[in-house]
Structure 1
């Protein structure tokens, strides 16, 4: 009972800090867009609009009010679920929630690939510690971890789309509004490859830590085969650390998905965010950041809970 209450109190404190961080981030994003050259009034009008038309549009959008007041009004609406309208008159909520399924679908596929590949590669390396496979996978994981998603995506397009012609360079929406399976292969790989590198290293490190425990040494001396040693002794003890790593990676996967969507022209939150920055539409940019930030915040709190539970379980 005390353990559960302690976890709830800790989770509430972490959640409160992350909410404060998200509000601060939204304020910074709002201000950053406001200080970009140009504004939403000119971007939402036809090219060549006169000064009077731009001034009227600025007044209509509230851009003639102080920045702090505009942000406070937008935050007041956000608390009630109303993110306002874009500079072009479209409801922000419908744009964001309409684009979110594609982003979540891409992120889920990339996360699944990350988990399967990282577990397989980490276990493969752990079977022969210090061997050629272990060293090669360690080097490969370090290299892929250092590459951002847009670089990985560009390399994948160069090889598989331009040189080999096996997969499309950009996605095209099908007649039913969905994305063909071939169109998501390269974007999912671009998201997953850096995360596979990171999680492979963590899986390998967690297995190595378990391998140093006394009961594992005893199992080795008893002649237990490597495969059974891995399944019966190493993986069960390493799973809490692996689970924490995977949950913490969800936020990075979601952020990488937004980047990958922009590279591969996928109609998700990345496309919405790109258009919002082009239009200097601070409420729309903040709306995208609010939704993705809230998802990442919840998942990070979950990761903290998993880590706390695993830590308390070892006491």
Structure 2
């Protein structure tokens, strides 16, 4: 069964690479002329086109691009700069941002969602449920702008933008608002799924059996129900993590964070074909890898799927 999952992952990744390559080549215009400007001579354009390999047959271009990615060589930008070290540095920034945001969202969503399931129908639970609905409706970039207006402009507690490496002072202060902006929206979504999953498990026979043996409702849920409730939540968390990656692209622009998102937008602005297709491919590969790990984790947690395999 694991072999089949890995096979589907490889085929999907291959199909995605072909689609991305084809779409990039479908964009009208010569990227070399864009890089050199309208006043460039035909000789200069032809020379840069040859340097970038854009005059070679498409199958050759695709093979060189993919073989380079598999070797860890991400190619050369229109400015003839090796983008591999830049991608690695930017990826570390985005990984820190996305990982902390998802961790914060889960840390908040699991206890709050469980509490909502136990307090269903109470005024406090109704207010919190309504707040999560608002959180789902508000995009993360708007949350980021509101946080900047409050904590930077009005109160002056936190820096409005920028990035500080982890080893330097001020790292946490610069990271608080972008992480919270991403986590609030994802946390609101996950809270509702946790609530629904716990409510579903609370009505199962094994919970009633545990309560008949003397366990409280909360004790039965925490001791027996959360494991089963984690299965659908895990699937949703995996899907939301992919959404979080896309949201991070916008948040990096709002807070001027030098991650993959800002690098991608800058490359699009100058029509840097190699950089754009490489970054899009890396984001797609990361998204597919998350889905793969989610599928594997689901099978490890649920013994019924292991038996079926």
Range of TM-score over shorter length: 0.7 to 0.9
Moved more, 79-88 or 259-268: 79-88
Measured after TM superposition, the shift of residue 220 of structure 1 is 4.7
CA shift digits 1:177-211 (9 cap, x unpaired) = 78622111111112212211221111111111111
Question: Cα gap change, 1:14/1:151 in structure 2, threshold over 3 Å: closer, same or farther?
Answer: farther
Moved more, 62-71 or 173-182: 173-182
Counterpart Cα distance in 1 of 2:169 and 2:26: 37
Counterpart Cα distance in 2 of 1:125 and 1:176: 39
| Residue 252, structure 1, aligned to residue 243, structure 2 | yes
Do 2:264 and 2:276's aligned partners in 1 also have CA atoms closer than 8 Å?
A: yes
Name 2:268's counterpart in structure 1.
277
The residue correspondences of 1:11-160 to structure 2 (distance < 5 A) are 11-36=2-27, 38-45=29-36, 48-160=39-151
Measured after TM superposition, the shift of residue 26 of structure 1 is 2.9
Counterpart Cα distance in 2 of 1:223 and 1:208: 20
Name 2:259's counterpart in structure 1.
268
Structure 1: segments with no counterpart, 5+ residues: 1-9
Question: Cα gap change, 1:308/1:174 in structure 2, threshold over 3 Å: closer, same or farther?
Answer: closer
Measured after TM superposition, the shift of residue 66 of structure 1 is 4.7
SS of residue matched to 1:169: coil
| Residue 231, structure 1, aligned to residue 222, structure 2 | yes
CA shift digits 1:259-283 (9 cap, x unpaired) = 3212211111112212221232222
Indicate which of 171, 176, 182 corresponds to 1:180. 171
Do 1:39 and 1:280's aligned partners in 2 also have CA atoms closer than 8 Å?
A: no
What TM-score, normalized to structure 2? 0.85
Moved more, 172-181 or 84-93: 172-181
Name 2:291's counterpart in structure 1.
300
Counterpart Cα distance in 2 of 1:265 and 1:88: 22
Name 1:192's counterpart in structure 2.
183
CA shift digits 1:223-273 (9 cap, x unpaired) = 744442332233233233333433443333333223321221111111221
Question: Cα gap change, 1:237/1:77 in structure 2, threshold over 3 Å: closer, same or farther?
Answer: closer
Question: Cα gap change, 1:165/1:131 in structure 2, threshold over 3 Å: closer, same or farther?
Answer: same
Structure 2: segments with no counterpart, 5+ residues: none
Measured after TM superposition, the shift of residue 84 of structure 1 is 2.0
SS of residue matched to 2:61: helix
Do 1:33 and 1:280's aligned partners in 2 also have CA atoms closer than 8 Å?
A: no
Counterpart Cα distance in 1 of 2:269 and 2:170: 25
Counterpart Cα distance in 2 of 1:165 and 1:262: 21
Name 1:211's counterpart in structure 2.
202
The number of residues matched between the two structures is 306
